[in-house]
Structure 1
Amino acid sequence: MTVYTDLPAQHDHTPSYTAHLGQPTGALVPIRLRTTLPVTQVSVKLVRVGEIETHPAEEVPAPANETRPGRWFEFLLPVHSAAVRYSWLLELPDDHLNLTMSGLHHVRRPFRDWFQYLSGYQAPEWAWESVFYQIFPDRFRNGDPSVSVQTGEYQYNGRDVFQVPWTTAPDWNGDIHGHYGGDLSGITEQLPYLTELGINALWLTPIFESPSNHRYDITDYRRIDPHLGGQAAFDRLIGAAAQQGVRVVLDGVFNHVGNENALFKAALASEDAPERSMFTWRSDHPLPYHAFFDVPTLPKIDYASLEARNEFWDGEEGVVRHWLRQGIAGWRLDVAHMMGVNGTDDDNLDLHRALKTAAREERADAYVFGERFFDPERALQGGGEDGAMNYHGFGLPVMQWLSGQSYTLRPSRLNGGEVVELLWDAYHALPPQMALNMFNLLDSHDVPRALYRLGQDRVRLRAAVTLLMGYPGVPCLYYGTEIGLSQTEPAAMPFCRAPMPWPDQGGTPDQWDDRLRQDVQRLIRLRRETPALQRGSLRFLLAEDDAIGYVRELDGVRVAVLASRDSRETPTTLTLPDGDWRDALSGEPVGSGTVQLRLAGGRVLIQS
């Protein structure tokens, strides 16, 4: 693919080029282009009522304090619909060029490549300034042994639950019945550790009453699981987190319930029960109701039912509203792509729009993002989810390139050119606010641990974290990644859910890589202190088989993020954009133009 940073014509979503994001329909928004080409005229093409209109842009003085070379052109973009597609047309003495998100071209590009202006959408911009930390509560820390599940305390799906010693590695036998005893008090206890690391937002996997250790089979959505400490522990966590500047996002399991949920029990008990409509029934299958992947313990909710919609978000006491009123900052939507009506995913986007509306009515800056393993482009147009877990557009390709294997551990020869092409395609397919809302991650409770996939190579893990902390979107670390927590077996669940090896709870020094933690801490601090990394534009700088790099830019500040999958100290030759550059962490000058840099473990450069 073509790698470009200093194109002779530039336009993006940042204030230098787009005056305001999210203006309402009917507004006129100043958009600008800077070019060093010998243009005779600059115009804007926009799509209205299915046709392309062409309007001349006006040459204007460069913005105050602007030092970059070139002439500036401005056009008042009419925001005539919810999403406006536009491109720039540059007339030259003997040629003409089209500028779109995908670069400069001699021919008109598909509309998908054109710039997008999303009207009337207000992003939860606090998320752009956040670094999240995902916690699987049962495995993070036991802060109150008195509430832990006891062996034989109850049966689930015909089998006794049991307590697992904290230092025991997960195995198939434990799967969903073995409880380690992590709880909300343990999270509250370690908030100082997390804030010292630089974390200012948490995503907790489900914490509502459930019989399993993962709690995606919820029994009662309005009751915090007593084995996590109940409501009192939740209130303490939310209060302490707020005092320390940490927001908390909960996991919304709204596609299915647990089979011990009172709503499902009532529906199962009587065909006349009002709860019956909340599930989809069938006579042509051994299982008489639709369920998540036909797992009997996970009956699927049918949102053709008004009762279901009222229960979860439309009603004044709906689950979404209830917990936002109690201080959470948003929702992560489990299997967001599967929610629907009549046992299908029909009406999926309409449902997400309604859910998001309810969330924003309770909290104007609520952050709602969905679990979507695949291409989320269709779902992210401003009305529904704010973003998606960015497996498709970041985590899966980056980790596949670094590790040489897919998340299912299949061998892969993905090279740097291919991964950059995929990243760029996913990024420019979204409106700019959506791209900045994307929830970026390297691993999670559903895929193998990053360090395990990287063959326990901590140098490559540092490279992965470097790319994560610099990329557009909201970065999230899975608990323990910062100290080198790995796994013992070649699969995802349950092995990727090992307990955090706290030294005072049985962890050993070899399980706690403090140097790695310090490196991660420095990268998090850089992310949080650098606005260009939070909301800047994206352009790719480097795409070789074993090395990739990109540049973020905001208000004239440029930051280059570079990484190699070669853990050796082999230098990489690359050309930096004009200007003097230094290492953002060490302060070491690196020059400009064509340079040779060691990129093992990742490098971040800033234009000084």
Structure 2
Amino acid sequence: MARWADHAIWWHVYPLGFTGAPPSALPAGSGPEHRLGRLEAWLDYAVELGCSGLLLGPVFASRTHGYDTVDHLRIDPRLGDDADFDRFVAAAHGRGLRIVLDGVFNHVSREFGHPEWFRREGSGYAVFEGHQHLVALDHTRPAVADYVGRVMSHWLGRGVSGWRLDAAYAVRPEFWAAVLPGVRRRFPDAWFVGEVLHGDYAGYVARSGLDSVTQYELWKAIWSSLRDGNFFELSWALKRHDELMESFVPQTFAGNHDVTRLASQLPDERHVAHALAVLFTVGGVPSVYYGDEQAFRGIKEEREGGDDEIRPEFPAGAGQLAPYGWPVYRLHQRLIGLRRRNPWLVRARTEVEHLTNRAMAFRSRDGEEEILTLLNTGDDPYRFPVGIDGLRVLDSSSPDGKAPWPTVPPHGWAVLGR
């Protein structure tokens, strides 16, 4: 993994939604609409949040939502043009922010310029998960591998730092294993993360040559265990996560562009803090989905337009955000700050030391470094039977940081370290 990625904390943004772009491509002959500047105006906000880069959703020319690409070498005119993109990257770099792009290389729009690269299935073309307007590429064709490598190298040469590979799980890992070496020879510091939902994460990384994959198992266990009052599910997921850490560093998250918002998953808003405490005290490369840091709500629905609620437009400036979201923003700042002061956590190994349905203690370690996370979602104070010698409170749900630790207040949490 590129060494800089050890310090990466991503602000994950879906640009078409964020900038209020129209839902479909502009009419033929229309000039670009320069919306990337709207996202550029929020770069300082991302820096103040504590993030070190932007993980962007699709920015390339497409028909509708960005995942039906028409041309991977052209910025979507709804967002702007090459000059807008170069200006955006320069502005990000000027603030110390890296950019990772979303590479949709499994499927494309039916209007993609190389229909000879479409994968045949019966008398027609194979499509992605039943979506007739998303045609699967034939990854056995050398021309497709050459094209993907050329696209990756083109934008890496324009200043981006890596790629999120959309629907990587639908592509044989050997395809990436054939493409990536040539790209890495030119750009040895590039970082590649694949979207993989479930299955053999470690095996996929080993066979593909990717640096990381998306840790959906941990994502699901975080909100589900808090919603259902069942920390045993989270404990199982953390054991699985710890095994993965033996071979690679997963990309971790509590929300993204494809799932119901964290604040909508949790019936008790106090438990958003517990979810973040897990995210930022276990190993992985973490990301925050735009709006989650402001307690945005949104339900993912399996229908046409069912993603609109979770991919909203942001206002022109931070002053137009609702006041109720700022305490959650400040909570993110605190826990991201804790993470950045303890960068060793990216490769930490985690062990659960105490467990009930509504109380959990786990310790993350790397060499001599350690952090102890205590979570209580019950209605009564809970005294954890764990050792805290030599540890002090780094952050907690108690405003003054003072409590009879390791007793944690009702619906409270604490992170202790050296």
Question: Cα deviations across residues 436-474 of structure 1 (Å, max 9, x unaligned)?
Answer: x2111111111101101113x331111111111111101
2:185 to 361, 381, 388: 361
Closer, same or farther: CA 303–503 of 1 in aligned 2, 3 Å: closer
Q: 1:380 is paired with a residue of what secondary structure?
A: helix
TM-fit CA distance, 1:289? 0.8
Structure 2 residue 12 is the aligned partner of structure 1 residue 134 = yes
- Aligned mates of 2:208, 2:336 — CA distance in 1: 31
Q: Within 5 Å, give how 1:5-84 maps onto structure 2.
A: none
Alpha-carbon distance in 2 for matches of 1:543, 1:422: 13
Is the contact made by 1:324 and 1:362 (CA closer than 8 Å) also made in structure 2? no
Tell me, yes or no, if structure 1 residue 498 matches structure 2 residue 316. Answer: no
* SS of residue paired to 1:580: coil
Question: 8 Å contact 2:361–2:384 — kept in the other structure?
Answer: no
1:530 maps to 342
One-letter amino acid matched to 1:210: S
1:336 counterpart (136, 147, 168): 168
**Deviation, structure 1 residue 499:** 2.3
| Percent identity of equivalent pairs | 27
- 2:205 paired residue among 371, 376, 380: 380
* Cα deviation code 1:97-117 (max 9, x no counterpart): xxxxxxxxxxxxxxxxxxxxx
Instruction: Give the structure 2 partner of residue 259 of structure 1.
Output: 110
Letter of the aligned partner of 1:500 in structure 2?
F
Q: Is the 8 A contact 2:301 2:307 kept in 1?
A: no
Match of 1:462 in 2: 273
- Residue 386 of structure 2 corresponds to which residue in structure 1? 576
Separation (CA, whole Å) in 2 of partners of 1:363 and 1:152: 32
Shift of the alpha carbon at 1:588? 4.4
| Bigger share in helix | 2
SS in 2 for 1:298: strand
Distance 1:382 1:292, change over 3 A: closer
- Is the partner of 2:7 in helix, strand or coil? coil
| 1:306 alignment partner in structure 2 | 142
1:423 paired to 2:301: no
Q: Is 1:564 aligned to 2:379, yes or no?
A: no
Structure 2 partner of 1:224: 75
Q: Distance in 2 between matches of 1:182 and 1:546?
A: 49
CA distance in 1, matches of 2:245, 2:282: 16
Distance 2:339 2:42 in 1: 22
Q: CA deviation at 1:502?
A: 5.3
**What does residue 207 of structure 1 align with?**
59
Counterpart secondary structure, 2:296: coil
Give the conservation status (yes or no) of the 8 Å contact 2:202–2:247.
no
Contact kept? 1:184, 1:228, Cα under 8 Å? yes
Going from structure 1 to structure 2, the CA distance change for 1:596 and 1:357 (only over 3 Å counts) comes to same
Distance 1:381 1:489 in 2: 32
Question: Is the aligned partner of 1:192 residue 2:44?
Answer: yes
* Cα pair distance change 1:151/1:331, threshold 3 Å: closer
Which has the larger Rg? 1
Q: Residues of 2 paired with 1:134 and 1:580: CA distance? A: 36
Native 8 Å contact 1:381 1:431 kept in 2? no
Over 3 Å counting, the alpha-carbon distance change for 1:217 and 1:606 in structure 2 is same
Matches within 5 A, 1:219-298: 219-264=70-115, 276=116, 278-284=117-123, 288-298=124-134
Name the CA shift for 1:282/1:416 in 2 (closer, same or farther; >3 Å).
closer
In structure 2, the CA distance between the partners of 1:532 and 1:280, relative to structure 1 (3 Å rule), is closer
What does the per-residue CA deviation read over 1:47-101, in whole Å, with 9 as the maximum and x for residues that have no partner?
xxxxxxxxxxxxxxxxxxxxxxxxxxxxxxxxxxxxxxxxxxxxxxxxxxxxxxx
In the superposition, the TM-score normalised over structure 2's length comes to: 0.89
1:228 match: secondary structure = coil
Rounded to whole Å, the distance in 1 between the matches of 2:37 and 2:355 is: 45
Q: Which segment drifts farther, 228-237 or 376-385?
A: 376-385
Q: Structure 1's 359 and 544: CA in aligned 2 closer, same or farther, altered over 3 A?
A: farther
**Deviation per CA, 1:293-342, whole angstroms, max 9, x where unpaired?**
232211111121111111111xxxx1111111111111111110112xxx
Q: Deviations over 1:526-575 (max 9, x none)?
A: 10111342333322222210122321223423211222334x5x222212
Are 2:288 and 1:477 aligned? yes
CA distance in 1, matches of 2:34, 2:252: 25
**Number of aligned positions between the proteins:** 407
Distance in 1, matches of 2:300 and 2:347, equals 38
In 1, are the aligned partners of 2:353 and 2:361 still within 8 Å (CA)? yes
Structure 1 match to 2:415? 604
Q: CA RMSD in A?
A: 2.6
Aligned to 2:157: 325
Q: d(CA) in 2 for partners of 1:489 and 1:150?
A: 17
Pairwise CA distance, 1:433: 4.8
* Distance across 1 between alignment mates of 2:165 and 2:40: 23
Query: Structure 1: how far apart are the matches of 2:415 and 2:266?
Result: 21
2:387 corresponds to which letter in structure 1? Answer: P
Q: In structure 1, list runs of 5 or more residues that go unmatched.
A: 1-122, 143-147, 156-180, 265-275, 340-347, 405-412
3-state DSSP of counterpart to 2:173: helix
